[in-house]
Structure 1
Amino acid sequence: MIAAVVVILLVVWLVIGLTSGSGDDNDAPSDSSTTSAAPTSSEEAAPSSVEAVALPQVLCMGQSYAMLEPDLTTDEMLADPAALEEKYPGSILSTIPAGCIADSTERDQVVLALGPFPSLAEACAAGTEAEVKFTAYEGSADTGLTAAACPGA
């Protein structure tokens, strides 16, 4: 009999706790909406900036690229990739994975890449058309990407 009374009291206590907890739940959505509003406001402050880790990586072998050099720092390129890519049609803000460029120790370099192209000549033509300084790269399975001189240059 005492056990039955204890069980009933526990059930009543649990029901009261859940009922009063639902009042807290009503407060929680306004708190969570405030919390979710904070990232939205920070996204509005810089809606198009990205982090380097979110960028696609260039392929290291069997392709050619023209890496544009628009005279901007990495932070400036990451601040508004969409505007940068719009200024240089066909380009993609990317990273070059560590070890991808032959004889380079740089890790995850942020670049504005045109490509991949099946040939160095096509990469050079695209880089020339961009009307900005660029470096052309050829890729192979053995060496990764290597800087190459454009034909006829």
Structure 2
Amino acid sequence: MVFIRPSINSKRTKYFMNLCKVLNIKISMNFDDLLTPEFILEKGAVRSGIANIPSMKNNLVKDSAMLLGAEKLILSTKKLGDKFSKFVDEIIIENNKLPIEYFISKNQLIQKYKEKTSDKINLLYLSGSKTHLKDYTIISGCLIKLAME
């Protein structure tokens, strides 16, 4: 069973982890470097000013400790993989990136540009929830200006 961004505060996560152990099901966890305490200042809720940093850091310490209960880790960086390699034998690194399906190839882009019939552009803005308020605030002026042109 693969747990993605597991949280110690989730009763459901604890239940399923215990069930996996009882049933001898291999536990894999997918974890991002931004979910470790060292990167707390990079968290969206902290950057947006809506987080209680000491409480959040405490939760991140507990959540990252959960990784020790996994037989396999899927991590976002080699640095994180090196850190946990002493505790978990099977580690896979999958770098943070958006799925390739979100994009078109350079050749397709050139072809679309050659065939264009209007100056309209499509803009894709991806963000999280309330923890990314500051991210949107930073770019909102540019988006409004772009929309008015």
TM-score normalised by the chain length of structure 2:
0.23
Query: Which structure has the highest strand share of the two?
Result: 1
| Structure of larger gyration radius | 1
Q: Which of 1 and 2 has higher RCO (CA within 8 Å, sep 6+)?
A: 1
Query: Which structure has the highest helix share of the two?
Result: 2
